[in-house]
Chain A
């Protein structure tokens, strides 16, 4: 009782706010729970199973494989599972503090794994059927875009941040120009450039994959933001650290790699994670250039004549999945911060 009094009803204004908040919750939550859980339909295989009021999760259930794999041929989906399974097994030790040989695992993930994954996804050799990228889609595509974006933008962002601090005027100018250009335009513009404008500049007959172009566009775009985040960390490192490293005979790259960056990156973990989360959600913009990511697949499914009218379920499901991913990233970063 005293807790209630102290925290919720300590003054007339607070009491009014508390009551208003409770009323709002009362208006929103019970109907949502009714809709999403109590009156919901989950059994069955078609829209006929969804007579009556509640949410029709049958729609999600029936279309889930497409939401996950897009139009990837059903017979080949095991390859996608395998690729993500390898990723999870290989990356898991990195989340264990003080696991040995992390450096080698990191090298594997950055250098070898993309080749393996690219091979598994694309196929076309060793008896694997070729699956062109326009059949990739759903959550699989979302993860491919997000993970390559993250894996690419962090190192690139670090390079641009170092470039911006460089004493060499040409490198500094290029870095500043790149960062300010990328930060000054919306991601949609970059994606349009990558998918529509860029091919116009290429000689006739030469073309490279639309997905690849989008990946590069997103990577460059988010590396500009990453560069600014990392720069904040670099500026927090006292001059004395650079001087001590120099006095010991460490050159520029060793000073940065061994002394400055380990400290700077640790400081900006929250900023890096923030960028990663933003990037994860921005991947939905690839829909604009005709790639069907997770959200794109859901939207497409909602316009299927068999399932018209169930877009709400689709969007709620999409929101829940995006939230789970982003929240996990955020929680992990908090454990990282507290560990240091």
Chain B
């Protein structure tokens, strides 16, 4: 099957600092990828390049047949097909939960308000908080906010979901409720690229685990192999620190 995300020889610099070094990764449709690595390894930068929140300077990124260039039309098409969930939720605090969910369907997809609301309520149901529709983000717990953020991304009916450390800002007791939603999503066949330190999640749902360090992909392997028989010394050192 042809890849839905094709990252080919991508490099990126912030000034003199090189954040990505010749990174290549291809993701098949319905594949679940977990990216892990020490902080500053470039894993967030990589997912943020996939929907062009960050611009890469070398190499090619092709998402669902659309190559990312500085062409705004292409960028908007790619973004309409990719949902993204952030570490800090980034809900819109001036809008109710329901309005957060309806904003993009109404204004980007030109859906009617009624249609968008119906979809929004369905996704709130799926992330298990239908009763919070009329509250504002500030009134919700972190875990609830992150689930709203996931629902908001899903409302655009994306082909790919990108997660950038979705549980890192959460209190321990709320991590599970968010991971549960992500596991359900994985079982439904969503293509997912997930930056996370939740190794248990990686073990349960990932098709492949990608280990990055210092801007490079060091190792890519299925989870059993990755956790039991890592090839690289750097991977072993990382795993010994977090497990």
With a cutoff of 8 Å between Cβ atoms, the chain A residues found around residue B156 in the complex are: 248-249
With a cutoff of 8 Å between Cβ atoms, the chain B residues found around residue A249 in the complex are: 76, 79-80, 104, 108, 156
With a cutoff of 8 Å between Cβ atoms, the chain B residues found around residue A244 in the complex are: 84, 86, 90-92, 149
B94 interface residue per 8 A CB criterion: yes
Q: Interface range on chain A: under 10, 10 to 19, 20 to 34, or 35 or more?
A: 10 to 19
A246 interface residue per 8 A CB criterion: yes
Most chain B beta carbons < 10 A, residue from A247, A250, A262? A247
With a cutoff of 8 Å between Cβ atoms, the chain A residues found around residue B51 in the complex are: 247
Encoded as 1 (CB less than 8 Å from any A CB) or 0, chain B from 32 to 72 comes to 00000000000000000001010000000000000000001
Main SS class of interface, A? helix
Query: Is the pair B90, A248 in contact by a Cβ cutoff of 8 Å?
Result: no
Query: Is the pair A248, B93 in contact by a Cβ cutoff of 8 Å?
Result: no
B10 interface residue per 8 A CB criterion: no
A246-B53 contact in complex given A240-B88, A258-B107, A263-B94, C-beta closer than 8 Å: yes
Number of A-B contacts (CB under 8 A): 56
With a cutoff of 8 Å between Cβ atoms, the chain B residues found around residue A129 in the complex are: none
A243-B86 contact in complex given A248-B79, A249-B80, A254-B107, C-beta closer than 8 Å: yes
In-complex Cβ contact of B152 among A243, A248, A251 (8 A): A248
Query: Is the pair B90, A250 in contact by a Cβ cutoff of 8 Å?
Result: no
Query: Is the pair B94, A266 in contact by a Cβ cutoff of 8 Å?
Result: yes
Query: Is the pair B83, A258 in contact by a Cβ cutoff of 8 Å?
Result: no
Most chain A beta carbons < 10 A, residue from B83, B104, B153? B104
Query: Is the pair B103, A258 in contact by a Cβ cutoff of 8 Å?
Result: yes
With a cutoff of 8 Å between Cβ atoms, the chain B residues found around residue A45 in the complex are: none
A250-B92 contact in complex given A240-B86, A243-B86, A244-B86, C-beta closer than 8 Å: no
A235 interface residue per 8 A CB criterion: no
The residue of chain A having its C-beta at the shortest distance from the C-beta of B103 within the complex is A258
With a cutoff of 8 Å between Cβ atoms, the chain B residues found around residue A238 in the complex are: 90
A241 interface residue per 8 A CB criterion: yes
Encoded as 1 (CB less than 8 Å from any B CB) or 0, chain A from 245 to 275 comes to 1111111001000110011001000000000
Q: Nearest Cβ distance between residue A181 and chain B, in whole angstroms? A: 32
B82 interface residue per 8 A CB criterion: yes
Encoded as 1 (CB less than 8 Å from any A CB) or 0, chain B from 124 to 164 comes to 00000000000000000000000001001100100000000
Q: Nearest Cβ distance between residue A250 and chain B, in whole angstroms? A: 6
Q: Nearest Cβ distance between residue B159 and chain A, in whole angstroms? A: 13
A248-B53 contact in complex given A241-B92, A243-B90, C-beta closer than 8 Å: no
- Docked complex Cα distance between A29 and B201 (Å): 76
Query: Is the pair B92, A259 in contact by a Cβ cutoff of 8 Å?
Result: yes
- Docked complex Cα distance between A130 and B33 (Å): 75
In-complex Cβ contact of A246 among B79, B91, B103, B152 (8 A): B79
With a cutoff of 8 Å between Cβ atoms, the chain B residues found around residue A263 in the complex are: 92-94
With a cutoff of 8 Å between Cβ atoms, the chain B residues found around residue A250 in the complex are: 103-104, 107-108
The residue of chain B having its C-beta at the shortest distance from the C-beta of A248 within the complex is B104
Q: Which of A220-250 contact B (CB under 8 A)?
A: 238, 240-241, 243-250
- Docked complex Cα distance between A225 and B133 (Å): 39
A248-B86 contact in complex given A263-B93, A263-B94, C-beta closer than 8 Å: no
- Docked complex Cα distance between A148 and B79 (Å): 41
- Docked complex Cα distance between A259 and B95 (Å): 9
- Docked complex Cα distance between A263 and B90 (Å): 13
With a cutoff of 8 Å between Cβ atoms, the chain A residues found around residue B94 in the complex are: 262-263, 266
Query: Is the pair B88, A248 in contact by a Cβ cutoff of 8 Å?
Result: no
Most chain A beta carbons < 10 A, residue from B51, B90, B152? B90
- Docked complex Cα distance between A238 and B107 (Å): 22
With a cutoff of 8 Å between Cβ atoms, the chain A residues found around residue B72 in the complex are: 251
- Docked complex Cα distance between A262 and B92 (Å): 10
In-complex Cβ contact of B82 among A245, A247, A266 (8 A): A247
With a cutoff of 8 Å between Cβ atoms, the chain B residues found around residue A262 in the complex are: 94
The residue of chain B having its C-beta at the shortest distance from the C-beta of A247 within the complex is B84
Query: Is the pair A248, B91 in contact by a Cβ cutoff of 8 Å?
Result: no
Encoded as 1 (CB less than 8 Å from any B CB) or 0, chain A from 170 to 204 comes to 00000000000000000000000000000000000
The residue of chain B having its C-beta at the shortest distance from the C-beta of A340 within the complex is B94
The residue of chain A having its C-beta at the shortest distance from the C-beta of B73 within the complex is A251
The residue of chain B having its C-beta at the shortest distance from the C-beta of A252 within the complex is B72
Q: Nearest Cβ distance between residue A318 and chain B, in whole angstroms? A: 40
The residue of chain A having its C-beta at the shortest distance from the C-beta of B99 within the complex is A258
The residue of chain B having its C-beta at the shortest distance from the C-beta of A254 within the complex is B107
Query: Is the pair B90, A240 in contact by a Cβ cutoff of 8 Å?
Result: yes
A247-B53 contact in complex given A241-B92, A263-B94, C-beta closer than 8 Å: yes
Write the residues of chain B forming the contact surface with A, with a CB cutoff of 8 angstroms. Answer: 51, 53, 72, 76, 79-80, 82-84, 86, 88, 90-94, 103-104, 107-108, 149, 152-153, 156
Q: 5 pairs across A/B with beta carbons < 8 Å?
A: A240-B88, A240-B90, A244-B149, A259-B103, A266-B94
A243-B53, A247-B51, A247-B79 are known contacts; what are 7 more A-B pairs with Cβ within 8 Å?
A240-B86, A245-B92, A247-B53, A247-B84, A249-B80, A250-B103, A263-B92
What are the 4 closest A-B residue pairs judged by CB atoms, nearest first?
A: A244-B90, A248-B104, A247-B84, A240-B90
